Structure 1
């Protein structure tokens, strides 16, 4: 997909999913991929806020024993997100993978504002980002996933097969694209398209 084929709606919502300090704990999660994810997320947040488009922050509240549990320091948003928090239009708290099962109700909020396009980014690529994008596609939203504004971790399956974070991210891209849940794009492409639509307005 070329940059010219991406169109960003004037009220397109940017979902920033689970960008929390607990994901910096390598001893808990293991090796990660895409060290550029945070910089790309910050660039997207700034572009959305500068254009007046809504940013939705999603924060995971795990059960006890997880670094993302509400009573743990890792539950907190990463500093660059916290610094931009006041400008966010909505803050959703969830306990499962999909951002559509949280408080307040994301779909209800989007419907009330006539928002039909979502740019979905954050952590983890193959978990909460992919689950949210799949559900958004099922619900009829136009979904864009800038894969380089996400990251994940190596993971082992039930038979001992281990996939690297990059392999899992590739699988997510194939699942979302091949399943027509979302269009997988780049941060640069989204930023260029967002700027172009703003100039044309």
Structure 2
């Protein structure tokens, strides 16, 4: 893809706590490798990289600040980055420091968003980015999620949730759903 040189890579919640069995079955075992490819490509090109970490405030969460699960996974733990955002809600735009303010101050209008979980923090951040007027690309193969139970005991597999996210984001005009290969060749 032909992206502006200042396109920011937003890497969401690639944390050790998502390896905890409490989450259940996941999809896309290649997500971390693809995230690593994106980080490497952005770093090599000197493009802006934003790392985001979820500091859960829920009791017993594997992502609670100060616990081993809160730490970033090795694939991004030592990644060069221009901004590090912490949050305790789904959207990286409600974290600290202010992501939208940082991007706006630099004139950045194009984003690539990847990370964990596809249908939670990744989708929420992509939707907000679209609403804020950013051009958003979401490499679905650089995300993953987990099976989830909803109302009335309805259970959707992680792959179904990822497919729904892709339809929601592209069909709803929030983002262009792409592959890692389309972004890094």
Q: By the TM > 0.5 criterion, same fold?
A: yes
In structure 1, what is the Cα distance between the partners aligned to 2:5 and 2:144?
A: 27
Q: Is 1:60 aligned to 2:54, yes or no?
A: yes
1:8 to partner: Cα distance: 1.0
* Counterpart for residue 41 of structure 1: 35
Larger Rg: 1
SS across alignment from 1:103: coil
1:168 to partner: Cα distance: 0.1
Q: Is 1:15 aligned to 2:10, yes or no?
A: yes
Aligned length: 184
1:142 to partner: Cα distance: 0.1
SS across alignment from 1:65: coil
1:7 to partner: Cα distance: 2.0
* Counterpart for residue 191 of structure 1: 184
Maintained 8 Å contact 2:33/2:75: no
TM-score, normalising length from structure 1? 0.90
1:160 to partner: Cα distance: 0.3
In structure 2, what is the Cα distance between the partners aligned to 1:8 and 1:62?
A: 33
* Counterpart for residue 157 of structure 1: 150
1:65 to partner: Cα distance: 1.5
1:80 to partner: Cα distance: 1.6
In structure 2, what is the Cα distance between the partners aligned to 1:189 and 1:8?
A: 11
In structure 1, what is the Cα distance between the partners aligned to 2:90 and 2:142?
A: 18
Structure 1 segments of 4+ aligned residues over 3 angstroms from their partners: none
SS across alignment from 1:14: strand
